[in-house]
Structure 1
């Protein structure tokens, strides 16, 4: 799903359309929906996979704890748009810019809510500060005792709140003094309660708006992400222009042709390597002929042409249109917490220039340096499954080696694909007490209203909120897609798709290789025999951890 902000002329804020690239909207929408979610932030820890684990820092005061949507939006914006951010890993199968735009839109909705909550807090709280502190103390004490597993202690917490309410009512009718102090004292007790009712209405309407957007995204459509702050209204708006440029930079980095190999983690963003098949034989001239000089690039170019024809099968059914692309692969350590994108005259907008790609393919086949791979990528299941077959050609002395490896990136964790559920409670019927019925509860409870009202004045100081309430720490090196991707092997049809891809791709690679060798006077008998052997062994391939060597 792609989205863009048109800056042809200065004007009112644009609404980001939801339409975009075919075949990858489901994963994009699922990740974007996290910006609108409620619930505890710790729930996102369930989405951690084997290689990439996010974490949540401890809260110094739990009343300032962010919910899932608040923490996700804040973490993603800072990580992907921050001025001093580290390089990002590509999000194959998704478009990261719309996800970030939805995080900005969700933050904007919450800020509008927080402005109103701050006004309510100012009028009904700060002006009557003693009463506000008293009620906050009672509610905080109730939260502490309600969290215990001891039912008696939990009941004591509820009783404490009820008792405080009864005491407040008694004080309204009978005070030891009269006059202005008595009026203010009564107001001190009542004003925070009135403010709470107003705050509850504000929070409830905003929660319904956020849940509507959450539901719409997972239903395949929905409301676009409104981010007028990304469209400069006039040439002097530096903040809006910087945001616009950062969004463009994000998209440019997404389309970079440089990827990073992190040992057992595989190619970051493409998933772990699950299979590897190698065709390696000696280059022997045909009888009565000499081998005409050729380079690895000559074979790679022929393989490229052959892979673009994969969708043209003999039967009516076949492959969808694949993405065939030349990749420059840079090695990084398994435990590296950041990557460094190459820079220099041969790099333009994060893209390695074609002539440099050809040089790396021909020359950098041994020893230090980056390597060249030719990749054919299939984005399936509406972006939930990304299959990548990588081909590398090397020639050392008289031996030609053509290696095909399979990488699979599974679906977004199920946490991101769950739709909002109404909050309900099962109670006994009034007359037929042996039967039960469900009643709908408000989306925002008492404790949640207090939490949002307390956080609201600090919305303009995010580092303070991070310090008091904790924050979501994203896994590094970070990419939106691979950070929360599950393994495809638990889904039968996804696993079948991954395994079935290997055979036709490998045979196309071998056919192209043998055709080039034959044209240049190489005896291809050994290569043909080896190709047939590999075709036999690949008949029943199974996924393995090909990058975890038993050594």
Structure 2
């Protein structure tokens, strides 16, 4: 069986190439506004170091030549493609409130726009580069030297650096003009230096059009999102392996996003759901209601399933009010990975169902894996609020040890992403002297692409056909691990008054529904629920005054 067949089976995709397939188009209904805000990074033309603004654990790996270093959009697009579509990639953390496919599609769209620009730049490099290669080498050497002196994209070389560069340029020009040559060779040498300048002027027009296109997409994503055409994901024939790889990679993202396994990272809480901010535990002895007979046997799964059925009714109430939005109810399998984990593991073996744990194994874990090592079962009710900016999750576990039944309700909250993702493009301007009032400076629109940027793009263009080599020469960025598009950029929700209210208000109804559903199962099986009811009323009073805390640190 081929590697492509293995990839298709892992993604859960059974269909093959079919002529007439349509170009995938992610419309505004394909994801939340938050998805488009994150996707906007793929179109940005700022420094790659800006990726550390929302999370300083992201890495910027420098290449060998600063002239070939990518900007943020180029580096982000490459990182998204390799981290989320590459064969053999590490598992991803679910992104609640975000559609990973939308982000990947826009990254591919940005790549396509740049690839079209790079084709034209490569043609210009062939026409004005290969024919006048010595002149191009001289100009590239001067620009590389300038960038080495400056140290980064946005700094200037300084007076001493510009003086050195100026002297070098004069010496090179004098050497070319006074070269002891005649005839056609002399004309060639004399045109060797100005020809690349003509090529630069043509390249500048190409780069300016592409930059305007990319910035239009950037603004559109900040404004609510627009579709991304990705014809690269449509196989043109049965042997189009690259398009098939992208298509199956997108299918894998969807399957992995719906996985029922998640991971507990110590004080970091559950990856993708945020930190644990509150916990309420009800633990009482199982005693028969009728002393003359034993209680009827039941399992933890019976209680958990009953609670899940009742939680689906949370959006209904006796009064006609706004109330809850429709929750997502999931029986989770939670695996401990530790606070410093660099990666997580997918479900595997006979109990795996694609990227999820099979339903029979979920029931077994709920009933049997309650003590000692192993995965644990949690029933989760999740609300994605504020357009994906707030994820509120209540997790419920049911355990029975000896004669004690414990129902634990814990709250998790994931806050909004950093404001960096909502930032639109800044208009580029330059200050000039007002011709009518020379004593005043006025701002005028400036070209989006400066001289040094045209040179950088032209130098990178031929190498974009060899991305692995370009990564080494120019550099890359690496996302924080374990990686998920949502949780690695999240901030705390506790500075937003209304978000805090939503988080705290969720706890009381969920707690009471969970207790009421559990008591019904206990009463049906002959359990005396008087002690449970008393404890539940006490917890009902405590949860009304819920306040967020660092519940996973235990004040130790």
CA deviation map 1:141-169 (0-9, x unaligned): 33344459xx9961344566667777888
CA drift at 1:72: 0.7
Query: Which residue is equivalent to 1:470?
Result: 475
Aligned-partner Cα distance in 1 for 2:138–2:435: 37
| Structure-2-length-normalised TM-score | 0.91
The answer for the alignment partner of 1:10 in structure 2 is 19
**CA separation of 1:402/1:434 partners in 2, compared to 1, >3 Å: closer, same or farther?**
farther
1:232-247 to structure 2, matched below 5 A, reads 232-247=235-250
Label 1:474 to 1:152 Cα distance change in 2 as closer, same or farther (>3 A): closer
Q: Which residue of 1 aligns with 2:73?
A: 69
Distance 1:67 1:301, change over 3 A: same
Residue 175 of structure 1: how far off its partner (Å) = 7.1
Contact 1:147-1:154 at 8 Å conserved across structures: no
CA contact (8 A) 2:28 2:224 kept: no
The whole-number CA distance in structure 2 between the counterparts of 1:244 and 1:389 is 35
Deviations 1:280-308 (A, max 9, x none): 11122225564222211121111111111
Look up the SS of the partner of 1:337 in the other structure.
coil
Question: Which of 190, 193, 202 in structure 2 is aligned with 1:189?
Answer: 193
Alpha-carbon spacing, 1:172–1:330, altered in 2? closer, same or farther (3 Å): closer
What secondary structure sits across from 2:465 in the alignment? Answer: coil
> For residues 36 and 548 of structure 1, what CA distance do their matches in structure 2 show?
40
Residue 502 (str. 1) matches residue 511 (str. 2) = no
Gap change, CA 1:446 and 1:159, over 3 Å in 2: farther
CA 1:440 to 1:232, structure 2 compared with 1: closer, same or farther past 3 Å?
same
SS of 1:313's equivalent in the other structure is coil
Deviates further, 10-19 or 329-338: 10-19
Cα displacement (A) at 1:132: 1.2
Task: Please say if residues 415 and 492 of structure 2, whose CA atoms lie closer than 8 Å, have aligned partners that are also in contact.
Answer: yes
Residue matched to 1:516:
521
Could you say which residue in structure 2 is the equivalent of 1:280? 283
User: Secondary structure of 1:412's match?
Assistant: coil
Q: Are positions 1:105 and 2:109 aligned together?
A: yes
Choose from 5, 20, 27 the match for 2:34.
27
Any stretches of 5+ residues in structure 1 without a counterpart? none
Cross-structure match for 2:208: 204
Q: Is the 8 A contact 2:24 2:234 kept in 1?
A: no
Q: Cα–Cα, structure 1 residues 98 and 248, in superposed 2: closer, same or farther, change >3 Å?
A: same
Superposed, 1:206-225 pairs within 5 Å as 206-222=210-226, 224-225=227-228
| Conserved 8 A contact 2:235-2:244 | yes
Correspondence list, 1:74-473, <5 A: 74-146=78-150, 154-158=158-162, 177-222=181-226, 224-288=227-291, 290=293, 291-315=295-319, 316-473=321-478
- The 8 Å contact of residues 17 and 235 in structure 2, kept in 1 or not, is answered as no
Secondary structure, aligned partner of 1:225: coil
Distance 1:84 1:284 in 2: 53
TM-score of the pair, normalised by structure 1:
0.92
Say if 1:229 and 1:240, in contact at 8 Å, map to a contact too. Answer: yes
* 2:132 counterpart SS class: helix
Number of equivalent positions: 539
Answer whether contact 2:493 2:500 (CA < 8 A) is retained: yes
The alignment's C-alpha RMSD in Å is 2.5
Question: Once the 2 structures are TM-superposed, how far is the Cα of residue 474 of structure 1 from its aligned partner?
Answer: 1.7
Quick check: 175-184 or 196-205, which moved more? 175-184
Could you say if the C-alpha distance between residues 19 and 7 of structure 1 is closer, same or farther in structure 2, counting changes exceeding 3 Å?
Answer: farther
